[in-house]
């Protein structure tokens, strides 16, 4: 009997962009050492733990997940794998990436299927076994490169849209139940990262110095630089830059004038904004706005 072929990503694969239109689903095994620094993307991400344990830091909270848990990551949220030596070597996960446009096309007028990513008190969930097994079943169907007895790629594509719709309909209903979200005991709050992120958000259009950020968290400059890199996996400069780019990308999609976009995000000039935006998103801001709207 032939082994079922699955879409897989190697644990060391650093790719954080989509190569398919609409959505991608992969199985990933082992500690993902290609994702130990903060990163973000313009699509939604869901991580489902099939086996073992897994930990992830979103902005200022770390979630320690076990078999059956799901983590929901909104667009443009800074996140990274939280490394614990030998803890996740046997971890197996399903990774789902899906665009805003895809969820909009599945939603219809009655239900916004992207709502589960916003406005919740937790980003991680553990559902009762019946619902968890149902969601896992849909994900396992999606991650299969081929479905038994389905010989047409077109039929597989239609079925996948159905599984994707069912998955998100049930996920949205379940996420609205507060009791299924992670409790405080399952998460670690990082006050330094929270203070730094809050200050940057509130002063995003201004020059922001390392010295001022260090004062906000009552540390010396060099102690702050070391602790921040240790906790987030990125330098302070890189963190501030990416926060500016996230703000710019959001305003682009809101139709803000291009000059106002880079000024509101705190860039000193357009050329600096353009260079950094193209490096982060792989395209100039004008094209980004055209393709994402």
- pLDDT tens column, 35-84: 778 889 989 999 999 999 999 999 889 999 999 999 999 999 999 988 88
pLDDT at 145: 77
Q: How far is CA 31 from CA 61, 75, 136, 249, 272, in A?
A: 19, 23, 21, 30, 35
CB 14 within 8 A of CB 32: no
* Alpha-carbon radius of gyration of the chain: 20
Residue 100 pLDDT greater than 70, yes or no: yes
pLDDT higher for 149 or 55? Answer: 55
pLDDT higher for 85 or 24? Answer: 24
Phi-psi region of 255 (alpha: psi -120 to 50; beta: other; left: phi over 0): left
Report the distance separating Cα 68 and Cα 65, nearest Å.
Answer: 8
Claim: this prediction has a pTM higher than 0.85: yes
CB 101 within 8 A of CB 22: yes
CB 180 within 8 A of CB 125: yes
pLDDT at 4: 65
Segment 148-163 mean pLDDT: 84
Tell me the average pLDDT of the chain.
91
């Amino acid at each position: 009997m032939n082994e079922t072929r699955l879409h897989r990503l190697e644990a060391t694969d650093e790719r954080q962009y989509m190569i398919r239109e609409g959505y991608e689903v992969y199985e990933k095994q082992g500690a993902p050492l290609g994702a130990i620094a903060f990163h973000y993307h313009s699509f939604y991400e869901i991580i489902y733990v099939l086996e073992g344990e897994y930990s992830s830091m979103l902005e200022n909270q770390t979630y320690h997940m076990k078999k059956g848990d799901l983590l929901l990551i909104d667009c443009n949220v800074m996140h990274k794998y939280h490394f614990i030596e030998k803890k996740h070597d046997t971890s197996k996960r399903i990774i789902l990436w899906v665009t805003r446009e895809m969820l909009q096309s599945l939603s219809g007028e009655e239900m916004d299927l992207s709502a589960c990513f916003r406005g919740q008190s937790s980003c991680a969930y553990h559902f009762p076994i019946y619902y968890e097994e149902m969601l896992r079943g849909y994900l396992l169907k999606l991650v299969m490169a081929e479905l038994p007895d389905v010989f047409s790629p077109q039929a597989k594509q239609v079925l996948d849209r159905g599984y994707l719709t069912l998955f998100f309909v049930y996920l949205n209903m379940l996420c609205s139940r507060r009791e299924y979200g992670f409790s405080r005991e399952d998460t670690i709050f990082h006050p330094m990262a929270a203070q730094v992120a809050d200050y940057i958000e509130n002063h995003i259009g201004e020059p922001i110095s390392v010295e001022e950020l260090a004062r906000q968290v009552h540390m010396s400059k060099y102690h702050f630089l070391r602790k921040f890199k240790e906790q987030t996996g990125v330098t302070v400069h890189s963190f501030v830059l990416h926060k500016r780019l996230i703000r710019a990308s959001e305003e682009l999609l809101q139709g803000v004038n291009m000059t106002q976009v880079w000024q509101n995000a705190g860039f000193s000039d357009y050329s600096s904004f353009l260079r950094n935006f193209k490096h982060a998103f792989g395209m100039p801001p004008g094209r980004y706005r055209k393709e994402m709207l």
